[in-house]
Structure 1
């Protein structure tokens, strides 16, 4: 991810989309912690911690360590209290520690060898530990937005679950950001059509991340849509489509 794109990502860290994703994360963390049957503080690793927008939520459930490679992200993380350790090496790297929960939220799509990345995550889970992941949905939505973010691909629920190793049992998976899916998909397809009809000047197109910043009242409304989705997901993932795929999986105990 380019520095200017990461700065935009940082500026949007408290908008409706990031709040909605944190709500989904909390729901999946609560389900994992209930399933553990313990009230002890959990050992948690977040891979791709960004500017630390998820850290306060994660710290409610245990002791947190993070992996982040962006200089901007690392600078922000160093200012957040009570992070046990910050790793600045891209995965896979040699890490002789295991965790109760590992989170990789919108991370796997940035890694060319996604199967190796997932295997690295699973190998660092304790027996019975949990992997929480999100990835962008639908390859047909792949656009300049994805290229600017450094994505290699997008997924469906089926194609993502297919790359999970055998020692993982999927407890819950599905689509998120479903209410706004049709609007976002239509906008992206119109942009793609416009680009094909109206070529850029001098054959050059600047790749940009699509902004998720909206006016205040729209931000509030969109945020409420995602909160409703999260409440539904607490029961059962029923949405047949969405802009993201999420998965909560457990490592089989030996």
Structure 2
């Protein structure tokens, strides 16, 4: 019997509840809230969500290519549901749905959780620890472009380790190379960028095993260096409230058909360099 994505999510929630967990009821916006989140403590510009509740990040080539990689890894493991921490407006949940992967989003900023709920997701406006999920209960957790926003990422990784089943998988992505750090990173709340070595070390120290590290988006390194890092080194700063670049950028949209071909080829070649570092780790 085939289930819709919404049905898959409900089956997953019912499975967790059968372990003794109690889900919260949705509010008037369909968002589930266990306890209030101090949004001022979240290292991400909430005005980015408030300014455009219909963010089109999910339509970008970046999200599309990464979603294909994630879906392939999950399907190879026989998994079709993933819990995503820091899901934003759905820049991964939406393209994953196109790949027949159901996502249960956990997003601490209410505006993001509300946007996801409006798109039919079973969304939580929470931090992971506030859900108090049972030990050893999840098969797959994703945390994409989030660890760099956390002053102490090992805290959330320890919680993920607790709730994953033995043999469960954690999928992670982070921005690459501290030498590319710029005011772009500062404006969107990054504490750091990562190397393959530093990400591996972080996951290993959080007890994850069989850590596989790869890179994505090699072709974006040079533009990031020229358009972000060099101006930053020269003392050129963006306006404080400048909008965060998204896939709506005209040039990226214009070049998307060509970029798609290059990125799909790049992914098959497994080039050990790229603007994003991706990891697959097992409990």
Kept in 2: contact 1:42–1:100 (CA 8 A): no
Q: Deviations over 1:189-231 (max 9, x none)?
A: 222134x2x678xxx7545523442334312222322222233
Matched residues in 2 for 1:199 and 1:110: separation? 20
Matched, 1:50 2:96: no
Kept in 2: contact 1:46–1:104 (CA 8 A): yes
Aligned residue in 1 for 2:126: 89
Aligned residue in 1 for 2:70: 25
Matched residues in 1 for 2:281 and 2:237: separation? 44
Kept in 1: contact 2:57–2:91 (CA 8 A): no
Q: TM-score, normalised by structure 2?
A: 0.72
Kept in 2: contact 1:130–1:250 (CA 8 A): yes
| Residue of 188, 192, 195 corresponding to 1:149 | 188
Aligned residues: CA RMSD: 2.7
Q: TM-score, normalised by structure 1?
A: 0.79
Query: Which residues in structure 2 correspond to 1:210-221 (within 5 Å)?
Result: 210-212=245-247, 213-215=249-251, 216-221=253-258
SS in 1 for 2:75: helix
- Number of positions where the alignment pairs a residue of Structure 1 with one of Structure 2: 232
Aligned residue in 2 for 1:4: 47
Q: Which has the higher strand share?
A: 1
| Structure 1 outlier segments of 4+, above 4 Å | 56-63, 204-208
Query: Which residues in structure 2 correspond to 1:30-41 (within 5 Å)?
Result: 30-31=75-76, 33=77, 39=78
Aligned residue in 2 for 1:36: none
Aligned residue in 1 for 2:276: 244
Matched residues in 2 for 1:122 and 1:46: separation? 14
Q: Deviations over 1:8-58 (max 9, x none)?
A: 692332022222222222233234x1xxxxx5x655211111122333555
| Residue of 177, 184, 200 corresponding to 2:217 | 177
- Stretches of structure 1 lacking an aligned partner (at least 5 in a row): 34-38
**Change in 2 beyond 3 A, CA 1:150/1:15:** same
Q: Which has the higher contact order (CA 8 A, sep 6+)?
A: 1
Query: Which residues in structure 2 correspond to 1:122-133 (within 5 Å)?
Result: 122-133=161-172
**Change in 2 beyond 3 A, CA 1:190/1:111:** same
